[in-house]
Amino acid sequence: MHRLRVPALVPEMSVPPAELHHLRVLRLRPGAELRVFDGQGGEASATLLRLDEGGALLSLGEHLTNVRETPQPVTLAVALLKGDKLSDVVRAATELGAARFQLLQTRYADVQDIGEQKLTRLRRVAAEASKQSRRAVTPEVLAPLPLAELRLAGQGFAAHPGSQARLTEALHWASPVTLVSGPEGGFSEAEIEALTRAGFLGITLGPRILRAETAPLALLGAIAATGV
Ligand code: SAH
């Protein structure tokens, strides 16, 4: 089934230019059945009414319940990383079900800020990965925030070597989840204290030291392996 991203689920809609090429390559005929999704969790079946040089028109069918999201949204709060590593993290973490990314400025990071262009690129990576993994939600990528300003709503877990608690034992799905992962240089003592004061629980990812781009995927992988 072909899935198209549309700005909103309305009874009749023209296909956005970005998706038109895709439809033409598929050589779909009027009457073809498709799926449409809005990137905010809405998904529906749709029928192709018209496809010509002028564009394409769809008519909306029944709304589908989304079965691909975790029981509560999971935010990945991840320290800024060098080069293109954040793209790899955003891509894989989107496949693994992250609903939101909060970029973090931390003391021992090699990078202290990120340009508007890079942020736009990360958002595009999230959109592509969510489509590829057949999710109906495109994760938001929020501009960097100093770690001290990170507030917790729901349950929060901070990956920190030497912690005792385990994510899959401490996590329950009664409220939204925030996972925090540090930079290559790790968190400072003061940062760990601030996270603890804010309500985050330190958790282990095993006795090995993972790279900063591996740790977020281990966190989300542990959740994915529970089958949610
Ligand atoms: N230089 C730091 C390690 C940083 S690893 C040190 O020696 O302590 C980068 C980030 O990955 C850490 O901040 C943490 O969030 C996460 N991480 C890596 N390995 C981990 C582990 N075994 N348990 C929990 N978190 C880990």
What are the extents of the domains in the chain?
3-64, 74-224
| Interval between CA 215 and ligand 1 midpoint (Å) | 7
| Interval between CA 85 and ligand 1 midpoint (Å) | 16
* pLDDT score for 153: 93
Give which of 9, 128, 142, 123 is closest to 66, Cα–Cα: 9
> Is 163:129 a contact under the CB 8 Å cutoff?
no
More confident residue, 220 or 21: 220
191 φψ region: left (φ > 0), alpha (ψ -120 to 50), beta (else): alpha
pLDDT digits (tens, 9 = 90+) for 61-118: 999 887 799 989 999 999 999 999 999 999 999 999 999 999 999 999 999 999 999 9
> Is 116:87 a contact under the CB 8 Å cutoff?
no
* pLDDT score for 176: 95
* pLDDT score for 227: 87
* pLDDT score for 40: 83
Query: Average pLDDT for residues 137-153, to the nearest whole number?
Result: 96
Give which of 119, 125, 179, 124 is closest to 144, Cα–Cα: 119
Give which of 45, 78, 82 is closest to 60, Cα–Cα: 45
* pLDDT score for 39: 83
pLDDT digits (tens, 9 = 90+) for 157-198: 999 999 999 999 999 998 999 999 999 999 999 999 999 999
The residue to mutate among 89, 180, 184, 205, having the most atoms of ligand 1 within 8 angstroms of its beta carbon, is 205
pTM for the model: 0.85
What are the structure tokens assigned to 192, written together?
A: 């760990």
The residue to mutate among 187, 210, 214, 220, having the most atoms of ligand 1 within 8 angstroms of its beta carbon, is 210
199 φψ region: left (φ > 0), alpha (ψ -120 to 50), beta (else): left
Average pLDDT, whole number, for the chain? 94
Q: Within 10 Å of residue 93's Cβ, how many Cβ atoms?
A: 26
Q: How confident is the model at residue 2 (pLDDT cuts 50, 70, 90)?
A: confident
Q: Is the domain 3-64 a CATH 2.40.240.20 member?
A: yes
Does ligand 1 lie within 6 Å of residue 179's CB atom? no
Q: Is the domain 74-224 a CATH 3.40.1280.10 member?
A: yes
- In percent, how much of the chain has pLDDT > 70? 100
| Interval between CA 219 and ligand 1 midpoint (Å) | 12
Does ligand 1 lie within 6 Å of residue 188's CB atom? no
